[in-house]
Amino acid sequence: MRLSGKVAVITGAASGMGKAIAELYASEGAKVVVSDLRIDAAQTVVTDIESKGGTAIAIAANVAKEDDVQNLIDTTVKTFGTVDILVNNAGIMDNFVPAADLTDELWERIFAINTTGPMRTTRKVLPLFTEKKSGVIVNIASAGGLQGSRAGAAYTASKHAVVGFTKNVGFQYATQGIRCNAIAPGGVNTNIGTSITEPNPFGMERAMAGISLNPRAGEPEEIAKVALFLASDDASFVNGTVVTADAGWTAY
């Protein structure tokens, strides 16, 4: 029970990697807040966790909205008394749109969810963490945040920003008992593909140029195990860095 008694908030936790992380954290003793836009789906995850003896609640939240983020953390504290672990998992793709075809609207929407969302949740939990000199943040970045063309320009830039934000927070708060790391998954079998509606042909062709080099797709549970390690005391000396989980895809 590596997370016994800890309170963990996970965004985008109704499906995919977020769901797998929520379920694994609960099985390791954490009280889990399953946060998602889709409250019914989030509640289904909670029901499943409770059926296995775990503790969880569902909170509807759009991380692109400041009020939702405020309510997410405030409700968590009201319910469980604190926050110990924050997992910023919510994210969307960008239809592989290349820079020449980018609109302000698409750029701002991708950044609002993928980058500004994690900033807001982090900003909200840091006062709790600094007061008790303890806390862990796990950001879900992407291989697209390490390489130049795993998606379109907006997604790529947004995930690079998450990596930079992770390193900044990790170092600046390191002496206050706070750790902040990121996971950079490669291709994982989740439903994030549903956020791809009308892929840009040119952008998709360029982004998929190296897909044949990908050894295999991962499963959400494999990413969850990395997230468990980073949230636990096993990773007490791991801070301000990115753990790549991609079967070796970016090693080529």
For the annotated catalytic residues, the residue numbers are 155
Compute CA distances 233 → 68, 85, 176, 236, 239, whole Å: 30, 12, 15, 5, 12
> CA 199 from chain center: how many Å?
23
Q: Which residues contact 224 (CB under 8 A, 6 or more apart)?
A: 17, 20, 21, 23, 24
Name the residue type at position 85. I
Cα–Cα dist 63/149, whole Å: 25
Compute CA distances 250 → 147, 150, 161, 211, whole Å: 8, 10, 18, 11
**3 state SS of 78:** helix
Burial of 7 (0-12, 13-18, 19+ CB in 10 A): buried
Element (H, E) at 137: strand 135-140
Half-sphere exposure at residue 164, Cβ-oriented, CA atoms within 13 angstroms:
9
